[in-house]
Amino acid sequence: MAIKLANRAMETSTTTGTGTFTLSGVAVAGFQTFAAAGANALTVDYAIEAIDANLALTGQHEVGRGVYTTASNTLTRVTVLESSNGGALENFSAGTKRVFITVAAEDLAVLQNNNVWTIAQTYTLGTITTSQPMLGTVTWNAGGVTFIDDDKDITDTASAAGSLFFRRRVGGVNRWTLGKDSLMTIVKNGALGYQIAVSGQPIIGMGRNSSVGGMNLCGGQATPSDTNSDVWVGVNALKMASGVICGWSSSNVTQGFDIAQARKSAKIHEFNSGVAGTYAGIAFASGTQTIAQLPTAATAGAGARATVSDALAPTFGATVAAGGAVVTPVYSDGSNWKVG
């Protein structure tokens, strides 16, 4: 519940009894009216004091919360916080009363409790039209003291599994949450993920690629142009693409692999030159495959190795021929696949 505060708002009233007060509409000398204070239709903390003809207090009084209405110039008494009637609505006698907007002690509970907040409050911030961050300055100046900047101890006697320690939203949509199970969720550009950047360039990031459904891990440079990459790490480093290839590059990882590992087919994987199916250099395919499954010897490159399962009467050093059932290692001489 928002409480309207105002400085120097005081009027008089001759209302009697325990009901709604009708104000005079004229400010006490040196004060302003409730209407001028902008209290229309708002909850205010009020104080009512009965006075005699000499302006001395009679002893009848009431402090509470009520709603002021400009049209009728009335104060509806809603909640009594203190009164000369034992905390109940005061049955005011005939005579003049001073009615003014105040700040009740109940609104300052944090100050009354050694700066420990013990009551529930809701704050609604207004629209921020310029950069106005919430700033705080804390000085740690004792070497023998272990400081803690923010500490909350929650007693969880009963709460739903989805209860959160922390939440930040934009337009009502969760962007950053930390659950009581310590699960942290960060949403970036409509997908799960996070990014740590220096001077605008990401150095560490992780996210779920919306087109692939995998993970993107990046560092050392901006997001790679290969949007199908599930995982990549910086320059000259590891990269994984769509669960098909992982490998290493001697330059920018977006420019392809020098060495890579890929799934060729069921239960068969290969080490290659960075493109699935090419075994250039010292790369090779592990597991058996048919001769028809091999790339051309020229594509694989001289020195590439594999193991075939359908060789026909293999002879060491001879070009391998299909049509049999012999398992044998083969290598590329750059032109043909040879047994050996």
User: pLDDT per residue over 98-111, tens digit each?
Assistant: 999 998 887 776 55
Q: Which residues contact 282 (CB under 8 A, 6 or more apart)?
A: 303
Strand (E) or helix (H) holding 306: strand 305-311
Separation CA 291–CA 285 (nearest Å): 12
Highest averaged pLDDT of the listed ranges 65-74, 195-204, 206-215: 65-74
Average pLDDT over residues 146-158: 92
* Position 123 confidence tier, pLDDT thresholds 50, 70, 90: low
Residue 62 is predicted with a pLDDT of: 97
Separation CA 140–CA 93 (nearest Å): 58
Separation CA 210–CA 224 (nearest Å): 15
**Mean per-residue pLDDT over the chain, rounded:** 80
Say if CB 44 and CB 68 are below 8 A apart: yes
Residue 269 is predicted with a pLDDT of: 73
Residues of the chain with pLDDT > 70, as a percent, come to: 71
Residue 57 is predicted with a pLDDT of: 96
CB atoms within 10 A of CB 230: 21
Largest distance between two CA atoms of the chain: 128
Say if CB 291 and CB 311 are below 8 A apart: yes
Average pLDDT over residues 313-338: 95
* Position 238 confidence tier, pLDDT thresholds 50, 70, 90: low
Residue 129 is predicted with a pLDDT of: 75
Separation CA 173–CA 292 (nearest Å): 54
Residue 195 is predicted with a pLDDT of: 61
Residue 199 is predicted with a pLDDT of: 63
Least confident among 48-52, 110-114, 123-127, 336-340: 110-114
Q: Which long-range contacts (CB under 8 A, 24 or more apart) does 231-238 make?
A: none
Q: What letter would DSSP give residue 89?
A: P
168-170-172-177 Cα dihedral, nearest 10 degrees: -20
* Position 220 confidence tier, pLDDT thresholds 50, 70, 90: very low
Residue 227 is predicted with a pLDDT of: 41
Residue 73 is predicted with a pLDDT of: 94
What predicted TM-score, i.e. pTM, was given to this entire model? 0.42
Q: Which long-range contacts (CB under 8 A, 24 or more apart) does 52-56 make?
A: 52/95
Strand (E) or helix (H) holding 298: helix 297-300
Residue 275 has pLDDT above 90, yes or no: no
* Position 122 confidence tier, pLDDT thresholds 50, 70, 90: low
Q: Is 138 exposed, middle or buried (0-12, 13-18, 19+ CB in 10 A)?
A: exposed
Average pLDDT over residues 75-83: 95
Residue 113 is predicted with a pLDDT of: 59
Residue 304 is predicted with a pLDDT of: 85
Q: Which residues contact 1 (CB under 8 A, 6 or more apart)?
A: 43, 122
Residue 219 has pLDDT above 80, yes or no: no
Q: What letter would DSSP give residue 17?
A: B
Pairing between β-strand 42-51 and β-strand 173-179 as defined by DSSP bridges: unpaired
Say if CB 279 and CB 260 are below 8 A apart: no
Q: Is 280 exposed, middle or buried (0-12, 13-18, 19+ CB in 10 A)?
A: buried
Q: Is 102 exposed, middle or buried (0-12, 13-18, 19+ CB in 10 A)?
A: middle
Of the CA atoms within 13 Å of residue 310, those in its CB half-sphere come to 8
Pairing between β-strand 305-311 and β-strand 173-179 as defined by DSSP bridges: unpaired
